[in-house]
Amino acid sequence: MPNSELRKRKNKQHNDRPNKSNTKKRKDKTVSGIHTSLLCLILSGSIFTTFIILYTDQIPWLIGHRAIDSIAKRFLGYHKPVYAVVVDAGSTGSRVLAYSFHESYFGNHLMLDKELFEYLKPGLSSFAKEPKKGAATIVSLLEKAKNEIPEEYWSKTPVVLRATAGLRMLPLDQSEKLLESVKEVFRKASFLTRDNSVEIMDGTDEGVFSWFTVNFLLDRLNGDPASTVAALDLGGGSTQVTFAAMTPVSLKQNDKIQLVASPRGQVPVYTNSFSGLGLMAARHAIITLNQGDAVNVTSECINPIIKKKKFHYHGTEYYVSGLQENYPTTNIKGTNIRIGEIVPIVSFSDCSKLISDYVRTKASPPEELPLKTIFAFSYYFDRATEVGLIDESTGGNVLLKDFKKAAEKVCHEANAEQAFMCLDLTFIWVLLNEGFGLKDTTQIFLHKKINGHEISWALGAAYDLLRGEKKN
């Protein structure tokens, strides 16, 4: 056999032998593929199992979704951020809340990650005669929102301004001029705007959005509506009472029932907004009672040591004093280092009677409210912290009678630093007791934040806004 033929056979035999290096590479790829498939299978199984457990109420809905989203983001690279900006033009100040959400891996539910909260005074309604000046205050709030949201998302981020009781109580021509000035500001903004981006919000929406916010943050919207809490919001111009309607009496009040969408379906919600029963509106009504258009006013609910204390309300400066004659006093006993003295006080019974007469003309007790777990916020929280009923940083819970005790104590002290505290606390107690039908033994949860997030109707409005944008 020629040598060339032999070499060909040897070369062929050599080439036909398995290449150990290539075989090892193919084996590694196969093993790697198996590992990847196995990992995906395990992840899919974990996510699916969590999903099943979640929807059979074995773990909290919010915790379950966050666990799934964390897995999806880390291993699958899934994360879809969504943003919204809401300006709350309240009667005593304007607030901007810039919300950062993401869409959940299952169901595309909006999951709140963080928010920016900024606040400035006075409220937009204080600029009734200077609309452009009022609108200029909104510019600074929008700039702060821009610092919170990545620039590439500005054009996709909807922004709205919703004015509450302060503008609702203004004459129509003044409120319209204010809104038009704000619309001009919005047209120049970098965010996504619509024709209805700047509006006066009615009390019904304010109540529903507040209720949604509280229960969303408590993770109560994903189970039995009976587990939700009632939301009591005390603003400057109005107050809202809102809860999931369960009794026939509540459900029959069609004019006060709203169907609210939740992850588990629609919930019939009772809401009632009381104009004139916000803290500042009530304060104004009490101190000006039977005094016409006077700006120098006296009140039985103000301590006699107070003389011409300034109170600004709806563009008018009032000078408020306590009674200057025929006022009650109390004796403070002397000690080894202090001489006894007679101190002027406010009669709690006289003041509460005055406030009761006012509240009864505007409020009617919702029959179902006493059956609910009650969360109260805004001025309820503020006044409770200012007299030491709860800790400002953590919030807490009190009995309604604690407000009464605090009011009686403050009314029987001469404290020029808290000139309106006697009136304010007495009003809160009368409102909750007589206006809303709560007993002195009713437990009230008072918070400014839940899980680090601000309690504001703005969160409910942002959620509703983003869901509306998704449909467009």
Annotated binding residues for ATP, written as ranges, equal 236-240
**Two structure tokens written together for 25:** 């590479």
φ and ψ of 388, to 5 deg: 80, 20
CA 234, 240, 245, 249 torsion-angle sign: positive
Of 230, 168, 245, 233, which is closest to residue 201 (Cα–Cα)?
168
- What one-letter code names the amino acid at 229? V
* CB-facing half-sphere around the CA of 134: CA atoms within 13 A: 29
206 has catalytic annotation: yes
Point out the annotated binding site. Answer: 236-240
Could you say which of 148, 206, 408, 454 is catalytic?
206
Cβ-proximal residues to 406 (8 Å cutoff; 6+ apart), any chain: 384, 387, 389, 425
Cα distance between residue 330 and residue 308, in whole Å: 23
| Cα separation values, 270 from 211, 247, 252, 255, 444, Å | 10, 10, 10, 9, 19
Cα distance between residue 188 and residue 416, in whole Å: 46
Concatenating the DSSP letter of every residue in 297-344 gives EEETTS-TT--SEEEEETTEEEEEEE-SSS--EEEEPP-SSS--EEEE
**Two structure tokens written together for 221:** 């919207």
Of 343, 342, 300, which is closest to residue 321 (Cα–Cα)?
300
Q: Do 237 and 166 meet the contact criterion of CB atoms below 8 Å apart? A: yes
Cβ-proximal residues to 245 (8 Å cutoff; 6+ apart), any chain: 251, 253, 257, 268, 269, 270, 368
Report the alpha-carbon angle 367-390-409, nearest 5: 85
For the annotated catalytic residues, the residue numbers are 206
